[in-house]
């Protein structure tokens, strides 16, 4: 018992470390990492910021570049990026100063009245609004480009999309290039897809290590169930995937049911994630068994790599990943039901006390 407890504690610590390292980066002279939020505080100076984040906020000084992927990138008033800003993000807001080039792809970009870009401004976005100063040339591909009354572009403007507002803000030539917007997004898409695939792999690996380390026998039985009871597992997983969200949706129709349905859906998402990882683990174990290799850890790695690869394949890859997901979800439900039956005696089974009598 002590050895088992120690082993489970060590494995749990390792799994948590993997997940934490994939979610948060250390704050050092250079900030880099995956997930979470990174903030360069006012008065703080770092050499660079790079990685995949939910949000990047610059209030202090970055002596180098800011690069990577993020849900939002915000350079607040007083914030300074001495190098360039090279990022793909949902929204980008620049109220501070970027000494070099801004090269981004995002849903929306706003250069506020206090925002200054000393280099070129190369942007692909759904909506771009310029109220600040661009000291170099601007190359913008967007559905809508708005030039405010306080906007200044010292160089030329090459654009594609609907250009609105103060055209007098441009000191140089204004030229429309209809191929501009598509090229920017095409160049950024492979980078974004690849980085998100790596992020997902690390998170799934952390959960997989936790599950296999804490519940090795249950995990092995689940993998066997996927291989031997494939149809039943798949149909049950598909039914659970459809029925559970539908039930919570019906509960949410009533006002009092809204908080219950939200909590339930969040719990179901966590349960579904476990099913996804177990499905990939089971498929990995099955594939290795074809080569007479029996190792649960190798099976986990193989299944996760396969899932990440399929995620990069259009349509067919998504369908295969969904099939693996419902297999894992169904097998997980069946495994939990069987486990409950083994733990709780049925009415027909005599307990130890009744047998003694």
Position 5 scores a pLDDT of: 54
The 10s digit of each residue's pLDDT in 310-331 is: 887 888 988 999 999 999 999 9
Long-range contacts of 134-138 (CB under 8 A, 24+ apart): 136/101, 137/172, 138/170
C-alpha 43: how far from its chain's center?
Answer: 30
Position 25 scores a pLDDT of: 38
* pLDDT tens for each residue of the chain, 357 residues long: 445 555 555 555 444 444 444 444 333 445 544 456 788 999 999 998 876 667 889 999 999 998 877 778 999 999 999 999 988 777 899 999 999 999 888 788 999 999 999 999 998 888 999 999 999 999 998 889 999 999 999 999 999 989 999 999 999 999 998 766 544 554 555 555 555 667 778 889 999 999 999 999 999 999 999 999 999 999 999 999 999 988 888 887 776 677 788 888 889 999 999 999 999 999 999 999 999 888 999 999 999 999 988 887 888 988 999 999 999 999 999 999 988 887 665 555 554 444 444
Position 30 scores a pLDDT of: 53
Position 26 scores a pLDDT of: 38
Q: What is the dihedral of CA 70, 72, 78, 80, to 10 degrees?
A: 20
d(CA 171, CA 4): 73
Position 151 scores a pLDDT of: 96
pTM (global) more than 0.75: no
Position 343 scores a pLDDT of: 66
d(CA 132, CA 121): 12
Residue whose C-alpha is closest to residue 105's, from 28, 182, 4, 212: 182
Contact between 307 and 208 under an 8 Å Cβ cutoff? The reply is: no
Position 29 scores a pLDDT of: 46
d(CA 292, CA 65): 49
Backbone angle region of 38, left / alpha / beta, with phi > 0 → left and psi within -120 to 50 → alpha = beta
d(CA 352, CA 245): 41
């Amino acid at each position: 018992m002590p050895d088992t407890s120690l082993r489970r504690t060590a494995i749990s610590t390792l799994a948590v470390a993997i997940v934490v390292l994939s979610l948060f980066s250390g704050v050092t002279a250079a900030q880099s990492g995956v997930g979470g939020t990174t903030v360069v505080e006012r008065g703080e100076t770092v050499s660079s910021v790079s990685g995949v984040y939910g949000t990047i906020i610059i209030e202090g000084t970055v002596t180098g570049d800011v690069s990577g992927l993020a849900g939002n990138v915000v350079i607040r008033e007083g914030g300074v990026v001495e190098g360039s800003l090279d990022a793909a993000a949902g929204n980008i807001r620049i109220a501070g100063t970027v000494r070099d080039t801004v090269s981004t792809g995002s849903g929306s970009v706003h250069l506020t009245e206090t925002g200054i870009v000393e280099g070129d401004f190369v942007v692909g976005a759904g909506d771009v609004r310029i109220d600040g100063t661009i000291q170099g040339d601007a190359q913008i591909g967007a559905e809508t480009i708005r030039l405010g009354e306080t906007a200044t572009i010292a160089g030329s403007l090459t654009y594609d999309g609907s250009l609105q507002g103060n055209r007098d803000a441009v000191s140089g030539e204004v030229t429309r290039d209809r191929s501009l917007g598509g090229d920017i997004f095409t160049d950024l898409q492979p980078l974004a897809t690849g980085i998100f695939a790596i992020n997902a792999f690390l998170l799934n690996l952390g959960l997989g290590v936790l599950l296999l380390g804490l519940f090795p026998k249950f995990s092995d039985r689940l993998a066997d169930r996927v291989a031997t009871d494939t149809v039943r597992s798949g149909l049950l997983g598909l039914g659970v995937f459809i029925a559970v969200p539908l039930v919570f949706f019906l509960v949410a129709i009533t006002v009092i049911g809204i908080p219950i349905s939200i909590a339930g859906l969040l719990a179901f998402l966590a349960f579904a994630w476990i099913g996804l990882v177990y499905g990939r683990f089971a498929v990995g174990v099955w594939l290795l068994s074809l080569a007479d290799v029996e190792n649960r850890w190798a099976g986990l790695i193989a299944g996760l790599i396969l899932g990440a690869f399929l995620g990069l394949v259009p349509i067919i890859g998504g369908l295969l990943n969904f099939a693996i997901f419902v297999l894992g979800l169904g097998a997980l439900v069946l495994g939990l039901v069987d486990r409950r039956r083994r733990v709780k005696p049925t009415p027909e089974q005599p307990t130890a006390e009744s047998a003694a009598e």
